Structure formats: C-alpha cells, structure tokens
Amino acid sequence: MPDICNEELSAMKSAETPLHKVQGMGASHSGTGHFRRERMTAVALIPLSLWFAYSILGLAGTNEVIMVQYLAHPWNALLMAAFAATSVYHMSLGLQVVIDDYVHAAGTKIALMLLVRFVTIAIISTCLFALIRIASV
Amino acid sequence: MADNPQIPGRNRPLSPHLTIWRWQVTMLASIMHRATGMALSAGAVVLAWWLVSISNGPEGYDSFMAYAAMPLGLVVLFGFTWSFAFHFCNGMRHLAWDLGYGFDKHTAGKTGFLVFALAFLIAIAAFAFVWSGHAGYLQ
C-alpha cells in the first residue's frame, strides 16, 4: 500500500493527496478543497487587484468613450474578465464559510448555498457579457 | 443561544464568546476581514453594474455616474475602497500566516494595527489622488 501511495505522489498531477482521493470527504464532505481554492484565488487576486486599482484610478473622472477604448483592448478585457471571475469566485467561497459558521438549519443552509452559487454565476456571466459587448462595439 | 445547533432542544454549555473577551486588535481585524469580504460582495454587484453601464453607451454610463456622484454614492465608494484595501492587506497577513510567518502574539498584534493604518492611508490617498486631478491618466 505505501508503495502505491509513493508512486502516485511522485507522479502527482494535482495538489490533491492520494488519501483525499480515496476518502473523498471529511467532516465537511469536501476535504481541504475549499481551503486550497480560497488560498489559490487569494494569491491570484494579488496581481489582479493591483491591476484593477491601477485601471480604476486611471479611468476615474474620464468618460464612457475612454473606458470603452481601454476595456475593448484585448489585454485589458482579459485582465478585467480574470479579475471579475476570480474575485467573484473568491466571494462565493468566503460567503460559503459565513453560511457554514452561522446557519445550522439544513434547509436554510441549502437554500442560502444555492442562492450564493446562483448569484455568483449571475455576476460573473453579467461581467463577461458586458465585456464582450464593450469589445465588440 | 444555548441550544446545540446539531441536536435541537439539547442544552449544553457554550465556550466563552465575543461578549466575554477584552477587545484585541487581532480579533477586530479578523471580524473586519469577514465584514469587508461581505461588503465587497455588494461591491461585486456594483462592478457588474459599472461594466454593464459602460456597455450601454454614454447614456447608460451617465445613469451609473448619477448614482456614483451622489453624496451617498461617494460614501459607499469610499466604503468599498477602504474595504478593498483592508481585505487586500489583511489577506496578505493571512497568507503569511498560512506560510508560517508572523503568527506569534506580538507580531500578529503589530501587523493588525499596521493593516488598519494602511487601509485608511490607501483609501484616503486614492480619494485625494482623484480629487486633486491626478486620476484619469489612461486617457
């Protein structure tokens, strides 16, 4: 058994441990997946947030024409899409923890989790659609 | 409050909670990390609104700016700016902890103060930057 584990560790294709793959769940039914995703998105958001701050300050006080020009540029469109998708996904992971901590009734919990996921998808797709529209003007 | 959430109706003693402890900057920073995260969730909706308004042409953008330029709009925007700065700085503090750095009591206290000071500094600097006419450099 340890041999199989070592072999798999050395040829590891993801950060998921073999033990986690076998068990598939812990007390949270998801192991460390949530924890890792929260940290991964946080690290990705460091450069993306700096770019976002640079862009917002650079666009503040200008007009719609300038903003369309800036956001229609492929690099800027891509970075804004990445910032919106990553930050809103990070948001859904964070809100899930808040629900886990404070909501204990199973029905309410499931309803709120669904709401968070639907809102997450709604915000991300709205941002992406707006960016596509801006780029295709 | 004393109800066990897992087994309704069974009363068990709870460990001391928020109302018991003397306030520490570390706990305030922890609470504010969650609070600013939740505030920034509303900010995500405003980000989507802002992008949609730009995609709707000049009139669409004007309608967004009419709200953003209101006194209440500016207060909300300052709140988002402060929350963004705080969550960014305190998030780095959390990532440092995850790597095993700065977790002892005195360092955590000091970086807690630092994060609050930095967030105010960044938010005020950002607004001063815009109001003194230095922003809009991308045109």
* Interface contact flag, B136 A94, Cβ < 8 Å: no
A63 and A86 in a single domain? The answer is yes
Residues of A in contact with B62 (CB under 8 A): 64
A56 and A26 in a single domain? The answer is no
pLDDT the model gives residue B8 = 60
Radius of gyration for chain A, computed over Cα atoms and rounded to the nearest angstrom: 20
> What architecture is the B25-131 domain classified under in CATH?
Up-down Bundle (1.20)
Is the CB of residue B123 less than 8 Å from the CB of residue B78?
yes
Q: Per residue of chain B (139 residues), give pLDDT as tens.
A: 455 556 666 677 777 777 788 889 999 999 999 999 999 999 999 999 999 999 999 999 999 999 999 999 999 999 999 999 999 999 999 999 999 999 999 999 999 999 999 999 999 999 999 999 999 999 8
A64 and A118 in a single domain? The answer is yes
For chains A and B, what is the number of CB pairs under 8 angstroms? Answer: 102
The residue extents of the domains of chain B are 25-131
* Interface contact flag, A66 B139, Cβ < 8 Å: yes
pTM: 0.85
**Domain of residue A70, residue span:** 37-135
DSSP H helices in A32-105: 33-59, 64-72, 74-102
Structural domain count of chain A = 2
Q: b/e string for B121-138 if b means 16 or more Cβ within 10 A?
A: ebbeebbeebeeeebeeb
A23 and A51 in a single domain? The answer is no
Residues of B in contact with A127 (CB under 8 A): 47-48, 51
> What digits encode the pLDDT tens for the residues A50-108?
999 999 999 999 999 999 999 999 999 999 999 999 999 999 999 999 999 999 899 99
Q: How far is A90 from chain B (nearest CA, A)?
A: 9
CA-based nearest residue in chain A for residue B43 = A88
> What digits encode the pLDDT tens for the residues A36-57?
999 999 999 999 999 999 999 9
